[in-house]
Structure 1
Amino acid sequence: MPVLRIHGYALAVSFCLITLIAASQRTDPSEVNALIDIKKSLIDPYNNLEDWNEGDPCAANWTGVWCFDKKGADGYFHVREIYLMTMNLSGTLSPQLGQLSQLEIMDFMWNNLTGTIPKEIGYIQSLKLLLLNGNKLSGSLPDELGYLSNLNRFQVDENHLSGPIPESFANLTNVRHIHMNNNSFSGQLPSTLSKLANLMHLLVDNNNFSGYLPPEYSMLDGLAILQLDNNNFSESGIPSTYANLTRLVKLSVRNCNLHGAVPDFSSIPELTYLDLSWNQFTGPIPSNKLSDNMTTIDLSNNHLNGSIPRSLSYSHLQKLSLANNFLSGFIPASLWRNMSFGEKDKLTIDLHNNSFEAVLGNLNLPANVTLRLSGNPICMNSNIQSIGQYCGAEGDEAASYPINSTPVCPVQSCPKDNFYEYCPSSPVPCFCAAPLRIGYRLKSPSFSYFAPYRISFERYITNSLQLDLYQLSIDSVAWENGPRLRMYLKLFPSYNDSHSNMFNISEVRRIKGLFSSWKFPRTDFFGPYELLNFTLLGPYESMDLDLEKRKISVGIIVAAVIAAVACVVAISAIVILLISRRHMKYQKKISKKRTSTNVSIKIDGMKTFTYKELALATNKFNISNKVGQGGYGNVYRGILFNETFVAVKRAEESSLQGQKEFLTEIELLSRLHHRNLVSLIGYCNEEGEQMLVYEFMPNGTLRDWISGNSKETRGSLSFCMRLRIAMGAAKGILYLHTEANPPIFHRDIKASNILLDSKFTAKVADFGLSRLVPYLDEEGTAPKYVSTVVKGTPGYLDPEYLLTHKLTDKCDVYSLGIVYLELLTGMRPISHGKNIVREVNMARESGTTYSIIDSRMGLYPSNCLDEFLALALSCCQDNPEERPSMIDVVRKLEDIIAMLPEAETLLSDVSLDSSGNIAPSSSASTSGSHVIREEQHISSCVSGSNLVSDVTPIIVPR
């Protein structure tokens, strides 16, 4: 009888399992197998796709996999979209992608994929968006891609692709956007692309195309943007039939080796942007007036002759460049005289290196106009008054634009270090919330200066997202090669929402869906955009946007209910057994967790402490011994049995690291030995505790001394002392980048992580976020970056790292530059909605630099301060390539210190004297019995016997 009962239960359970599997089976089996093969071909260092082996793709919501809401005619659910953008994936694209027969969106943007594009992708007839840009794909385009008759957007830009455009692309009858720029495509542009009646944007710039420009493209009635720059169409000029492109907004053929006459484009009513520069065009400038919408006309660096037509005057013009031609005659003042400028409007007229002899009309230019005349005979005419100011060296266009500051708000209202900030334009003053941060780039804008169109752009974005205008803040606007306009968008939640300090998950998902599906209304003036990143930081970091992303159909619910009813009897018989087993398993898991942190760790040269020893050293972690706090836990001052002072960093229970991570941090710190790095003495790993024991830094953090908030910071740091601390921090980071083996990127350089010992030697601390640089590859080449999720402290984060997730040595340089600006100004990186880099740049540009310098550091030589400030700002350049390396930073600081008359005194150790002032140690004194007080030390830095005031001004801050 018991045997029969067991068999009965077994049969019941088997029946239940079969029924439940049948009810939960959702995804087409061939697509499941395809997804598994796709994952096998990818390298996923951060396990973003770890759930691709669990359950059914559509039922279990695999990361990045989106399915249709209803079953198909075959009774299965099918994969509709794949979103694997910016996941640090490498490896190759699997041919099994072709098995996803009903896929509509394939998004692998901004990863590190290599290899070729599988021809099998061309078999997915349903595909609408093919987004492969920003990888390292190579080889040629398969002919099979021309079978994608439903394709709307084809983006393979910024790869290493080569070869010609297949003739089969003439079959992409529904395509609206072809973006193939920044590759190595070659050959003749196919004339058959003229069959693409729906094509709006064709971007093939920065390739190796040759031959001629197909005249047949004039048949593209809907073409609005044609960008062909930096190719070699040496066999032709611009076909005159292109004047029939009546929808054209932008034509850019810069540096294409074109020749012949400049066509007359006056019949194109919507033309806004015309760039024909760096070609071989000859003859005069057409006299017929172009569209009134013109913002940019660039005919520079050609062989044009004749005079400037008086018709070349437009109310919205921002840039007119005719430089480096053979133009002559008079310069008509109508170019600027009849324009009505708004506050944010700007016009640059570049006429240098021609043969102009005079201005026809009044030369008095509005403040908004920049005129460049160098290299013209007019600059040699002494009879023309005030001409000299226009004949100097060429100026540079502003690469970025200041952003309006927010009102002054109380610091304590916004949570610190949690990516909250004030909404700059909120109707509610000082509304504090967590914004969504979005990397965004206009790939082919039809203007040269953004400021006049910023408000209309903000309206375009917020209307497209169904948000209020105040919910958008634009930051880090900068021009890049192309020219393309990169920006950093911040979207704030509504202050009217019940959870007004952040967006809920459904709203985040909706906003991301609009960006990544290109569902914004068409705008040819702002041109096509690309989503660079959609990074979830702060309170959004734990959101899983793939959860609850699909509605469960009624049929599935009914099937699940029927299956559940059918299994009730069988399940009830084994419920007690399952609960018992689960309880035992849980207890075992808890026991394992409790004992996991007691695994023995032994590292040479590293002392292990017991919990009892550290509790005794810190008086049972008494609050009076607490000297700091961070995300890891609290830091306590302690005294060991041998009377050694130490700092004990104790992890809170909620932030206990895994055993592997804890061991890795100890092993990392045990290998670092440098005067300017905080030393790790030992660790404790018992009784569920994880503690690190460091040498004690009696003078606390640099942040405390800059702010003066701590009672420990009784003195004030002079300019000389700040230079000395800057040098110490730089040398510590230089050691990490060049002498540690393997090198290390710190990733969290900030003023509170630079500690000061008893002699005010700066020591870099807190390596909790540090990353090892991978070893040399097989060719002996060191990698330039590490792909990683964004970690760090707001205000110190490299904007390029935020956008690309690529961690480099220049990320530490940027953060150190912020620290240097703090040293000079006393400001915080972000305070009251103001960004320190922006504030310092604005002060410098307006000539009010000294008004923002921290007055507490006393006197300083202006030349030294100017050099230090320039170094700090160079470290904070948006473009990492424009920042100095750490070795360059150290060398520049050495040069600045050498400019001081008492450089040796500056570089010596100092301490606090009995009155609480900073003074050099006895070893640094100029005589054996004389100790220089802080006031005298300042004086020696700025007014030594060899320093005269008329050579180096002494600045006294207000």
Structure 2
Amino acid sequence: MPTLRIHGYAFAVSSCFIIIVAASQTHPSEVNALIDIKRSLIDPTDNLRNWNSGDPCMAKWTGVSCSDTEEADGYFHVQELYLMNMNLSGSLAPQLGQLSQLKILSFLWNNLTGTIPKEIGNIASLELLLLSGNKLSGSLPDELGKLSNLNRLQVDENRLSGPIPESFANMVNVKHLHMNNNSFSGQLPSKLSNLSNLLHLLVDNNKLSGYLPSEFSMLETLRILQLDNNNFSGSGIPSTYANLTRLVKLSLRNCSLQGAIPDFSSIANLSYLDLSRNQFTGQIPTNKLAENMTTIDISNNQLNGSIPPTFIYPHLQKLSMENNLLSGSIPASMWQNVAANSTDKLTINLQNNSLLDVLGNLNPSANVILRLYGNPICNASNIESIGQYCAPDGDEDYEVAQNPTNPTTLCPIQNCQADYEYVPFSPVPCFCAAPLRIGYRLKSPSFAYFLPYINSFELYITESLKLDYYQLSIDDAWEEGHRITMRLKLFPSFNDPNHKFNASEVQRIIAIFASWKFPSNHFFGPYEFLNYTLLGPYASDSKSSKSSIDRGVLVAVLIAAAAFIIATSAIIILLLVIRRGKYQRMISKKTPGASIKLDSVKELTFRELALATNNFCSSTIVGHGGYGNVYRGTLSGGTVVAIKRAAKDSLQGQKEFLTEIALLSRIHHRNLVSLIGYCDEEEEQMLVYEFMPNGTLRDWISGKSEEAKLRQNFGMGLKIAKGAAKGILYLHTEANPPIFHRDIKASNILLDSKLTAKVADFGLSLLAPYEEGSGTKYLSTVVKGTPGYLDPEYVSTHKFTHKSDVYSLGVVFLEILTGMQPISRGKHIVNEVNVACRSGMIYSIIKSRMGSYPSDCLDKFLTLALSCCQDSPEDRPSMLDVVRELEDMVAMLPESDDSITLDNSDEMVSSSSLGSNAAREDQHKYAFVSGSNLVSGVIPTVVPR
């Protein structure tokens, strides 16, 4: 789908500004909407300029980027709108609702006022709605409840009021509801229990009243429930909350709750429990909580009785029981297991109770802070050294966490140039590089002190960003209201010759932070991306981007086409990757162990792959193609892989080979075979893919394996066809730049253990497409592909378009239906099926092993296949239409995984019973149908990922 991403961020560089543009091919209604949206904003720093200038594609981190692929209406559609931390004021325009394809709407950390427009509820495609950190007021519109695809709603830190709408229960896909730090009032809607995917519910610091809904115990996926600082009118915690077995954090601090504390010992993942500053009575539950508890705060209540001897937790950091009515003895076992090292820390606050003595020896290690002020034990003269624990202290114990001793203190002073710093833990001593600075905040961590978890947090961040561990340094971190704010420094690799991130890396890193693409880690909780700072070389990069954009807007308006700019951007990125790969390749030859790094793809040695295949034993060969042999291998970690080894006459130049890898490393889809690694050593070039245990679609069609015979039926064939089509749709519409496969055939569609279709060989011998003046995108090249699958138009004109891939896939569909080879005894499958259709004998060539099926489904599938195989590309459907039709057909199948059960209705047909029955054939004669007639009825939305 054509996409338009409008991105703007505030840089800490006074001379930098953002250009926001709307492509001239943007849908007219969206162009007008963007203009109205801009008019509603007040921009004191002139960050927004030339919104409707006509230049379709700008650098992603300084403006807008888009991909140009065909769509039925021929227009771009805005899918991402980021205007973050830009000091904007004004209001949100109702015209936002006209951006019908929008997936991400972010106005984080500005000064916007006014209300949230109800029209946003019309954007059915919206996945992220991010409005935190503004001055928005009024109530939440009921219409937002229509956002059934919403994953994350963040409206925290505004001035919103009124009730939380019950309609939010219709956000069936929402995982994160962040509504804290507002003035919401009234009852928490019990209907929110319908949100079966909800992970984090943060509604703390509001004015909610009423009771805690017992129905929330049905939120089986809930990990964090944070409702601090509300007024729940003296109600208690429903005992059924013990059924929230996946809960990691429960925080109900200062909520006017009464009654007894329920037994939460059944919640195996619980790490953080804060029930402080309420009115709980009764005794502390005696059953032990989860082993991984870090924080237990039940202070400032009216609890009585003794402290249970079960309060022994190896990871406990904070135990607060002060200001209660506790009596009896203090179990010394609470602190005796704390290790005496530099990062472990345990604070036990028992002040202002009625505790009399210590059960055991009073000998806590230096890492234990014990507070006993206000207890009778402090008056005991028979307990040695008791006085040191009886001094009055404050309520809170915040920390400032910093990294351990920095080895760069041993480096020469001021040896780095301005705006460059020593990389603290670089493998190369005293390595200087330019840091990218990130403002970051943990909104609801499940621990009391950060220092013991800094190492695991750094590992989590660097793995999520695909950086090495040494490339992250935490300047400092401090706690504010039970949230942790920090400044991160990200450093380029020590292999980088420029000692800084290039523009594409800056884009990639910021996009991960801003799009909430970090993998879930509920222990660290949800995070906030506050800002990022461009200083030193990054500031000069942004200035040069500014001047080039100033000149480029006019040029783009006059002469540039959208795809040309995309292609140019892609070439630049590839050249940068090639340059980096060449440099790192040179380093790897000089320095053993050095490797190039392209996203998640591993560089493997010839020795590793030889060991994986028993020295490329012939018994491990599982396939052969024009590129060379394909081997089944097992890597040292136990991963089974397919190794495609180039034959001597197939070796590419190093530049072309690395370019191909760079392209493949960015392509990820469940219906595409994943590239795991590569080997490029002198006379060897190998690509390492995930292994597909069920072979090729050709094997399935011919019934070579027992698995294929068992699951060879129409329903499974239809689902395989759908999977293959979705993989190719991704290549056509989501890959950047778009990719034409050029060799779609049944042997290039592989099947995993669940018979999920995965398209292979989509990266070999690719050429970047370009556009004619007419706007038709094609490849002009020597005819290449497999006979029988080749588009007739491509053969005659040498022009390959996306419709050429559609033709090849249509041939595959006919293979699934008939079992025939594309060419057999000089006869082509398309001609044979057309002849059978005209003569009314189509079922005579439908495979007898296809089982039973709804006749309407077969009609539609055969019509679709023949439409794909029309001689004229204009008469073929687009790949998007193909996927939509297949989705529609699969939805018609009876409720079964991969088979169709025969019943007595007229709607079911068994292929084995048809034979050449003329009466049955007459009911299913086929006419030729063009692609424009394919879509009928209500078509489900297709998301290519």
Q: TM-score, normalised by structure 1?
A: 0.55
2:532 aligned partner = 534
Q: Distance in 2 between matches of 1:383 and 1:59?
A: 77
AA aligned to 1:475 is D
Q: Distance in 2 between matches of 1:563 and 1:177?
A: 42
2:415 aligned partner = 413
Deviation at residue 77 of structure 1 after TM alignment: 1.3
User: Counterparts of 1:281-320 in structure 2 under 5 Å?
Assistant: 281-320=280-319
Contact 2:338 2:344 in 1 (8 A): no
Q: Distance in 2 between matches of 1:79 and 1:71?
A: 15
Summarize deviations over 1:149-191 as a string: whole Å, max 9, x none: 0000000000000000111100000000000000000000000
AA aligned to 1:503 is F
- Name the SS for the 2:400 alignment partner: coil
AA aligned to 1:81 is E
Residue 476, structure 1, aligned to residue 476, structure 2:
yes
Contact 1:442 1:528 in 2 (8 A): yes
2:449 aligned partner = 449
Q: Distance in 1 between matches of 2:431 and 2:358?
A: 53
Deviation at residue 448 of structure 1 after TM alignment: 0.3
- Name the SS for the 1:50 alignment partner: coil
Q: Distance in 1 between matches of 2:234 and 2:388?
A: 42
Summarize deviations over 1:484-510 as a string: whole Å, max 9, x none: 0001000000011232x1000000100
AA aligned to 1:484 is R
Contact 1:249 1:271 in 2 (8 A): yes
2:207 aligned partner = 208
AA aligned to 1:39 is K
Alignment partner for residue 509 of structure 1, among 507, 510, 516? 507
Q: Residues 206, 496 of structure 1: CA spacing in aligned structure 2 closer, same or farther, 3 A cutoff?
A: same
Contact 1:26 1:56 in 2 (8 A): no
Q: Distance in 2 between matches of 1:391 and 1:564?
A: 82
- Name the SS for the 2:410 alignment partner: coil
Contact 2:24 2:56 in 1 (8 A): no
1:777 aligned partner = none
- Name the SS for the 1:407 alignment partner: helix
AA aligned to 2:424 is P
Q: Distance in 2 between matches of 1:393 and 1:402?
A: 27
AA aligned to 2:473 is S
Q: Residues 100, 542 of structure 1: CA spacing in aligned structure 2 closer, same or farther, 3 A cutoff?
A: farther
- Structure 2: 5+ residue runs without aligned partners? 1-21, 550-565, 571-735, 741-767, 778-945
- Name the SS for the 2:255 alignment partner: coil
Q: Distance in 1 between matches of 2:70 and 2:309?
A: 66
Q: Distance in 2 between matches of 1:166 and 1:350?
A: 40
Deviation at residue 476 of structure 1 after TM alignment: 2.0
Q: Distance in 2 between matches of 1:31 and 1:543?
A: 31
Q: Residues 237, 67 of structure 1: CA spacing in aligned structure 2 closer, same or farther, 3 A cutoff?
A: farther
AA aligned to 2:382 is N
Deviation at residue 57 of structure 1 after TM alignment: 4.7
- Name the SS for the 1:31 alignment partner: helix
1:397 aligned partner = 397
Summarize deviations over 1:271-312 as a string: whole Å, max 9, x none: 000000000000000000000010000000000000000001
Q: Residues 374, 36 of structure 1: CA spacing in aligned structure 2 closer, same or farther, 3 A cutoff?
A: same
Q: Distance in 1 between matches of 2:451 and 2:79?
A: 40
- Structure 1: 5+ residue runs without aligned partners? 1-22, 566-958
- Name the SS for the 2:193 alignment partner: helix
Summarize deviations over 1:855-897 as a string: whole Å, max 9, x none: xxxxxxxxxxxxxxxxxxxxxxxxxxxxxxxxxxxxxxxxxxx
AA aligned to 1:468 is D
2:665 aligned partner = none
AA aligned to 2:454 is R
Contact 2:433 2:491 in 1 (8 A): yes
Summarize deviations over 1:669-708 as a string: whole Å, max 9, x none: xxxxxxxxxxxxxxxxxxxxxxxxxxxxxxxxxxxxxxxx
2:433 aligned partner = 433
Contact 1:356 1:376 in 2 (8 A): yes
Deviation at residue 72 of structure 1 after TM alignment: 2.5
Q: TM-score, normalised by structure 2?
A: 0.55
Contact 1:66 1:81 in 2 (8 A): no
1:19 aligned partner = none
Summarize deviations over 1:831-853 as a string: whole Å, max 9, x none: xxxxxxxxxxxxxxxxxxxxxxx
Deviation at residue 399 of structure 1 after TM alignment: 2.7
Summarize deviations over 1:66-107 as a string: whole Å, max 9, x none: 545524321111111011111111100011111110010011
Q: Residues 60, 54 of structure 1: CA spacing in aligned structure 2 closer, same or farther, 3 A cutoff?
A: farther
Deviation at residue 59 of structure 1 after TM alignment: 7.3
Residue 466, structure 1, aligned to residue 458, structure 2:
no
Deviation at residue 236 of structure 1 after TM alignment: 1.1
1:663 aligned partner = none
Deviation at residue 56 of structure 1 after TM alignment: 4.3
Summarize deviations over 1:89-133 as a string: whole Å, max 9, x none: 110001111111001001100000000000111100000000000
Cα root mean square deviation, aligned: 2.3
Summarize deviations over 1:239-263 as a string: whole Å, max 9, x none: 0000000100000000000000000
Q: Distance in 2 between matches of 1:28 and 1:543?
A: 32
Q: Residues 97, 326 of structure 1: CA spacing in aligned structure 2 closer, same or farther, 3 A cutoff?
A: same
Q: Distance in 2 between matches of 1:337 and 1:554?
A: 63
Identical aligned residues as a percent:
68
Most deviating of 389-398 and 183-192: 389-398
Q: Distance in 1 between matches of 2:194 and 2:340?
A: 43
2:84 aligned partner = 85
AA aligned to 1:504 is N
1:233 aligned partner = 232
Deviation at residue 46 of structure 1 after TM alignment: 1.3
User: Counterparts of 1:58-207 in structure 2 under 5 Å?
Assistant: 58=57, 64-207=63-206
- Name the SS for the 2:160 alignment partner: strand
Deviation at residue 55 of structure 1 after TM alignment: 1.5
Contact 1:71 1:77 in 2 (8 A): no
2:242 aligned partner = 243
Contact 2:58 2:65 in 1 (8 A): no
Deviation at residue 564 of structure 1 after TM alignment: 13
Contact 1:302 1:325 in 2 (8 A): yes
Q: Distance in 2 between matches of 1:456 and 1:69?
A: 41
Deviation at residue 234 of structure 1 after TM alignment: 1.4
Q: Distance in 1 between matches of 2:214 and 2:373?
A: 38
Q: Distance in 2 between matches of 1:119 and 1:369?
A: 53
1:579 aligned partner = none
Summarize deviations over 1:642-664 as a string: whole Å, max 9, x none: xxxxxxxxxxxxxxxxxxxxxxx
User: Counterparts of 1:590-605 in structure 2 under 5 Å?
Assistant: none
Q: Residues 288, 359 of structure 1: CA spacing in aligned structure 2 closer, same or farther, 3 A cutoff?
A: same
Contact 2:77 2:101 in 1 (8 A): yes
Contact 1:64 1:84 in 2 (8 A): no
Deviation at residue 466 of structure 1 after TM alignment: 0.4
AA aligned to 1:94 is A
Q: Distance in 2 between matches of 1:291 and 1:83?
A: 41
- Name the SS for the 2:79 alignment partner: strand
Q: Distance in 1 between matches of 2:106 and 2:281?
A: 45
Q: Residues 61, 241 of structure 1: CA spacing in aligned structure 2 closer, same or farther, 3 A cutoff?
A: closer
Contact 2:317 2:449 in 1 (8 A): yes
- Name the SS for the 1:327 alignment partner: strand
Contact 1:134 1:157 in 2 (8 A): yes
Summarize deviations over 1:614-673 as a string: whole Å, max 9, x none: xxxxxxxxxxxxxxxxxxxxxxxxxxxxxxxxxxxxxxxxxxxxxxxxxxxxxxxxxxxx
Contact 1:298 1:322 in 2 (8 A): yes
Q: Distance in 1 between matches of 2:373 and 2:267?
A: 33
- Name the SS for the 2:288 alignment partner: coil
Q: Distance in 1 between matches of 2:23 and 2:168?
A: 41
